[in-house]
Amino acid sequence: MASKQAVKSSPFLAVALLVAILCAAPSLAAENLFIAAAANFIRPLEELAKMYREEQGVRTTLSFGSSGKLYAQILQGAPYDIFLSADKERPFLLYGKGLCEPPFQYSAGQVVLWSRYHHSADSSWQDIISEQVGKIAISNPETAPYGKVPRQTLHQLKLLKELQPYLVYGQSVGQTFLFAQSGAAEFGFIALSQALSQEGQKGQYWPIPESPPIEQWGCVIVHAKNQNLSQNFQSYLTEEPAQNIIRRHGYL
């Protein structure tokens, strides 16, 4: 009899537990900042989020993707508090639609040519790439600024036509790095911050002086759950201690 009762009561217990968890969840989330950021900014942002939590006691939830995907998600009402784009265009488009506060610049990235294979370190990136035999990975120029800028540079230097058949496209600069890192592509146009990472240091990189820096802008989403907190993070991000960390990761 006793065992039967135990069996009967267990679903109730489970439901009660579930209800308790669901009720507890919102109060946990109150001091939580939801940040959507471009894939190239993963490493600095993870470090910054950890520091922010230690200093200010605020948890952050980070979501990474290409700027284009995150932008489309915000248009559809994704519950992000802050959007850190890899370009200037998308935050201002959101601002134009009244979906965010005035955008702010938080960093400027640089694009470099990277390979896991050994090449002459003294040569320029143009000499190196013109000797390529394999594929060249580049981020989708339409969705990723880290693909748009090198493509423009190739075009301006009249190299695009010749190299076009060798280009393969990553959906974000993260995937582009994977293509080059795995050797599937001989070269990759990636962010300097990736080249400086632990994985990136296993290969070689060449600066591309012809490519302008990539201004990265962000904005606080209008329907952010906690406006004050979001504004606070914005100023945190643009002040000196945070900027030092960002620079250390290969940004300007």
Chain positions contacting another protein, by CB under 8 A: 66, 68-69, 71-72, 93, 134-135, 137, 140, 142-143, 167-171, 175, 178-179, 182-185
Supply the minimum distance, in Å, between the C-beta of residue 243 and another protein: 29
Q: How many residues are listed for the chain in this entry?
A: 252
Identify which of residues 160 and 178 has a Cβ nearer to another protein in the complex.
178
Q: Are 185 and 103 in contact (CB under 8 A)?
A: no
Phi/psi at 144 (5° precision): -120, 120
CA distance 118 to 116: 7
Supply the minimum distance, in Å, between the C-beta of residue 187 and another protein: 13
Identify which of residues 60 and 216 has a Cβ nearer to another protein in the complex.
216
Phi/psi at 220 (5° precision): -90, 125
Supply the minimum distance, in Å, between the C-beta of residue 67 and another protein: 8
Identify which of residues 169 and 236 has a Cβ nearer to another protein in the complex.
169
Phi/psi at 115 (5° precision): -145, 145
Residues near 229 by beta carbon (within 8 Å), at least 6 away in sequence: 31, 33, 58, 81
CA distance 138 to 113: 10
Supply the minimum distance, in Å, between the C-beta of residue 219 and another protein: 16
Supply the minimum distance, in Å, between the C-beta of residue 106 and another protein: 22
The one-letter code for the residue type at 46 is E
- DSSP label at 141? T
Residues near 250 by beta carbon (within 8 Å), at least 6 away in sequence: 109, 110, 191, 192, 193, 194, 195, 196
Identify which of residues 60 and 175 has a Cβ nearer to another protein in the complex.
175
Identify which of residues 175 and 234 has a Cβ nearer to another protein in the complex.
175
Identify which of residues 136 and 242 has a Cβ nearer to another protein in the complex.
136
The token pair that represents 133 in the structure block: 């035999």
Which residues partner with 84 through β-bridges? Answer: 37, 218
